[in-house]
């Protein structure tokens, strides 16, 4: 398997524990696949690939790895349900998820690759997986896109930079150095993303984030009086709760979003939310961007789902089939608040006090990059995120053989 110059440097390192911080689409998974194959080429080896979840391991690695090893006629048996490959030399490669890391106990490994380990609970390594390498003096490769400096990935990366820790070595390379993404696409990402997210995702920089999720929000810059007539089309993000149920009401014009009204109702329900929206805006076309989980039906609502209630109220409902990654949604909001070129395309009317408060105070749990869902500001923050993430996502859509940018604002079409 051919490797890029920076990948080859990592591959050729003799350190027992290697830590890699790399930009998005920088070939991290391809490097891991190559390492798995090298470790398993010797007879009777036990080799694992671990990502944040079982599902992610299957989506990212399974078909690629299986296809490569079938092509070179290495495989003796494929176990689809176990995500494991028994090779003709007696070695075994297995894919695992760290979402239930206690289930990973009791094995002896010769090699372990942990992919996107910044998003894996530190205890999966310290309490479980480290011991699996002891019997056979196994090696480990840790690969990730950085996730701030308050994360164990940063600590592990620093360990590998310490020359006194001779068993560890750290490496860092950008998306551009990975060689899989064109410079034009990287420049497009620079324009689409906020500055800190671009440095983290594409330049593999460990950014120091405060606890604020929406750090790009600035009252002086993003709060702007709304003095225009009510638009004929309204875009509304909403979060379903009993107390409060919330809605963020936007005007969208040429890529600029203005949050000019909000709804925050305590001890209420979706029927009452729909009624309130229609009372305020009786003649407008309403497009709703709700919590995707609202597709489920509830006995308390007479077997109706929240989405059905909104549709029956005459609203157009747009939501993905499942939740997008929260991190992507937060990045989308920050990118609209201020991108890496210092351009702001998301503004809030001063009267939307709950929205302003949420943008200021919605925070991560201490020492993590996980939003605090117990935070009282998360409901309005989620309402904002659902609309922004659907209309202006920062994710990419990948074709079979090349990177393709997602069409910004496609939901407006």
pLDDT at 302: 64
Domain ranges of the chain: 5-203, 219-412
Report yes or no: 96 and 104 within 8 Å, Cβ to Cβ. yes
Q: Which residues pair with 229 in a beta bridge?
A: none
How far is it, in rounded angstroms, from Cα 15 to Cα 12?
A: 9
- The CATH number corresponding to 219-412 among 3.10.20.30, 3.30.420.280, 3.30.470.20, 3.30.300.10 equals 3.30.420.280
Report yes or no: 39 and 112 within 8 Å, Cβ to Cβ. no
Q: State how far the alpha carbon of 333 is from the alpha carbons of 216, 262, 292, 362, 385, in Å.
A: 9, 17, 18, 12, 6
pLDDT at 277: 97
Q: State how far the alpha carbon of 147 is from the alpha carbons of 57, 201, 204, in Å.
A: 19, 9, 9
pLDDT at 210: 59
* Helix/strand/coil (H/E/C) assignment for every residue in the chain: CCCCHHHHHHHCCCCCEEEEEECCCCCHHHHHHHHHHHHHCCCCCEEEEEECCHHHHHHHHHHHHHHHHHHCCCEEEEECCCCEEEECCCCEEEEEEHHHHHHHCCCCCCEEEEECHHHCCHHHHHHHHHHHCCCCCCEEEEEECCCCCCCHHHHHHHHHHCCCCCCEEEEEECHHHHCCCCHHHHHHHHHHCCHHHHHHHHHCCCCCCCCECCCCCCHHHHECCCCCCCCCEEEEEEECCCCCEEEEEEEEECCEEEEEEEEEECCCCHHHHHHHHHHHCCCCEEEEEECHHHHCEEHHHCCEEHHHHHHHCCCEECCCCCCCCHHHHHHHHHHHHCCCCCCCCEEECCCCHHHHHHHHHCEECCCCCCECCCCCCHHHHHHHHHHHHHHCCCCEEECCCCEEECCCCHHHC
- The CATH number corresponding to 5-203 among 3.40.50.300, 3.60.21.10, 3.30.230.10, 3.40.50.12280 equals 3.40.50.300
pLDDT at 284: 96
The pairing of beta strand 245-253 with beta strand 233-239: antiparallel
Report yes or no: 19 and 156 within 8 Å, Cβ to Cβ. yes
Q: What is the pTM for the complete model shown?
A: 0.56
Peptide bond preceding 376: is omega within 30 degrees of 0, i.e. cis?
A: no
Report yes or no: 51 and 113 within 8 Å, Cβ to Cβ. no
Report yes or no: 384 and 242 within 8 Å, Cβ to Cβ. no
Report yes or no: 139 and 69 within 8 Å, Cβ to Cβ. no
Domains 5-203 and 219-412 share a fold: no
Mean pLDDT, contiguous 10-residue spans, the chain (413 residues):
80 93 80 92 95 89 91 93 94 93 90 92 93 93 82 83 83 80 82 79 72 84 92 95 89 96 92 95 96 69 83 94 84 92 93 90 76 77 95 62 38 45
pLDDT at 293: 84
pLDDT at 301: 55
């Amino acid at each position: 398997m051919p490797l890029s110059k920076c990948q080859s440097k990592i591959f050729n390192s003799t350190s027992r524990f290697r830590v890699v911080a790399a930009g998005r689409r920088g070939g991290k998974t391809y490097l891991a696949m190559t390492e798995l194959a090298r470790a398993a080429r010797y007879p009777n080896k036990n080799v694992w690939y671990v990502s944040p979840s079982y599902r992610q391991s299957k989506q990212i690695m399974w078909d690629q790895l299986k296809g490569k090893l079938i092509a070179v006629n290495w495989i003796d048996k494929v176990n689809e349900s176990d995500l494991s490959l028994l090779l003709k030399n007696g070695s075994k490669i297995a894919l695992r998820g760290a979402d239930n890391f206690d289930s990973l106990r009791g094995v002896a490994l010769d090699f372990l690759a942990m992919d996107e380990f910044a998003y894996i609970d530190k205890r999966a390594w310290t309490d479980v997986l480290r011991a699996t390498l002891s019997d056979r003096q196994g090696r480990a490769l840790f690969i990730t896109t950085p996730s701030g400096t308050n994360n164990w990935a940063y600590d592990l990366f620093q360990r590998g930079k310490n020359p006194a820790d001779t068993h560890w070595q750290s490496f860092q390379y950008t998306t551009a150095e990975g060689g899989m993404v064109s410079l034009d696409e990287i420049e497009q990402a620079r324009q689409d993303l906020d500055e800190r997210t671009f440095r983290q995702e594409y330049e593999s920089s460990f950014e120091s984030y405060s606890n604020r999720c929406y750090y790009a929000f600035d009252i002086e810059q993003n709060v702007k009086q709304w003095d225009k007539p009510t638009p004929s089309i309204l875009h509304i993000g909403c979060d379903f709760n009993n107390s409060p149920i919330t809605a963020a009401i936007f005007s969208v014009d040429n890529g600029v979003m203005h949050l000019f009204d909000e709804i925050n109702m305590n001890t209420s329900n979706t029927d009452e939310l729909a009624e309130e929206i229609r009372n305020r805006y009786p003649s407008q076309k309403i497009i709703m961007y709700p919590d995707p989980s609202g597709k489920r039906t509830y006995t308390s609502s007479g077997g109706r789902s929240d989405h059905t209630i909104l549709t029956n109220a005459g609203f157009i409902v747009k939501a993905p089939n499942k939740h997008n990654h929260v991190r992507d949604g937060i990045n989308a909001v920050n990118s609209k608040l201020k991108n890496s070129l210092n351009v702001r395309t998301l503004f809030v009317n001063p009267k939307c006090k709950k929205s302003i408060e949420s943008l200021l105070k919605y925070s991560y749990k201490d020492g993590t990059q996980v939003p605090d869902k117990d935070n009282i500001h998360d409901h309005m923050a989620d309402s904002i995120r659902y609309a922004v993430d659907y209309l202006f996502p920062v994710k990419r859509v990948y074709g079979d053989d090349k990177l393709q940018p997602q069409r910004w604002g496609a939901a407006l079409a």
